[in-house]
Amino acid sequence: MKKLIICIAVALAAFSADAQHIGRKYKLKKVIEVKGRQGIAIDENYYYVSSTTAIYKYDKDGNLVAENTQPFQNPELANHFGDIDIYNGEIFCGLEKFEYGRGFNIAISVYDAETLEWKRDLPWSPESGQVEVSGICIDRDKELVWMCDWVDSRYVYAYDLKTGAYHTKMQCRPMPYWTQGIFVADGKMLFAADDGEAMWNIPDNIYIADVSDVPHTGLVDGEEVVKETPFSVKLDADGKPVRRRGKVAGGAKAGRLELLREMSDFRRAGEIEGLSIDPENDDLVVLNNRGTQIVLGMSQGPIVEEGYDREIHELYIYRKVR
């Protein structure tokens, strides 16, 4: 009987270490200052933090153990990481060239978690309609890579993890204001949503949506209006919308978002970024930046009237209460 109990306990411990589970209520446990300002990924032993142009690796006491400050293979094409995720020893990063509210040259880049060195890229489909990548996450159950879009947060976009092929997109209803990071567990997606300003001390939020059913729609042959910007169409000489024929998104899933948590316990509201769940203990970890002025997603220098001389990046670590 004792052996049976021990075997069950070992099995439960192994199960809990291999899965992340979302709670309904969290309590702040501790805050760790880090170098990176963009995203957070977690495995059994480390926190991986992305900055705009770097990847950092910390132990869970907050000690820096490794860094890659020159991660881009083509720096002339990419200058920005968003939120990140880790899966099977690989760090998945959405990268792009970002300039004042617009992303270009989007890619999914994969880095080795041990060395932090680049390994490979996965293809991205501009036909999906995505115009920026602020974060990336892995649906471990369905083997999908999801990407979010800070510029146009109406949709999140899914790709097949094995083939890299575009899978579908999900319409976010209601739309979160400027999605910064996403994470999937238990068939649910968490959204870290920035409220768009960093001066007025208004709390940012975390939302949740069901993504347990994600039908494949892929890309199909069709016709669509050509956009001049993410929110306006291109017009011809007669003032009519320009249209193009070719591959277009074949459809979308409708997603219903609900508020999970208002982040009113940040030391100062600023710019919420990535989020993740610790596979060891189900801690919710959220990255927040404070102390700088932000214009269209780019820092404009410290809020000197409040005594800041730099931007501060912190991991907020929350214990799951239930």
pLDDT in tens, the chain (322 residues): 544 444 444 444 444 445 799 999 999 999 999 999 999 999 999 999 999 999 999 999 999 999 999 999 888 888 899 999 999 999 999 999 888 777 888 999 999 999 999 999 988 999 999 999 999 999 999 999 999 999 999 999 999 999 999 999 999 999 998 999 999 999 999 999 998 778 888 999 999 999 999 999 999 999 999 988 888 999 999 999 999 999 999 999 999 999 999 999 999 999 999 999 999 999 999 999 999 988 877 788 999 999 999 999 999 999 999 8
What's the CA dihedral at 127, 131, 136, 139 to 10 degrees? -40
The pTM assigned to this predicted structure is 0.92
| Backbone torsion region of residue 241, taken as left when φ is above 0, otherwise alpha when ψ lies between -120 and 50, otherwise beta | beta
Q: 290 has which bridge partners? A: 312
Q: Which amino acid is at 299?
A: S
- Hey, what are 239's tokens? 């003032």
For residue 259, the model assigns a pLDDT of 97
In the chain, where the domains are located: 2-217+252-320, 222-246
Q: DSSP string of 208-234?
A: EEE-S------EEEEEEEPEEETTEE-
User: Using CA atoms, how far apart are residues 95 and 280, in angstroms rounded to an integer?
Assistant: 28
Q: Cα separations (Å) of 322 from 62, 274, 301, 318?
A: 26, 22, 39, 12
For residue 242, the model assigns a pLDDT of 96
CATH-assigned architecture of domain 2-217+252-320? Beta Barrel (2.40)
For residue 16, the model assigns a pLDDT of 42
Q: Cα separations (Å) of 265 from 40, 201, 318?
A: 19, 11, 11
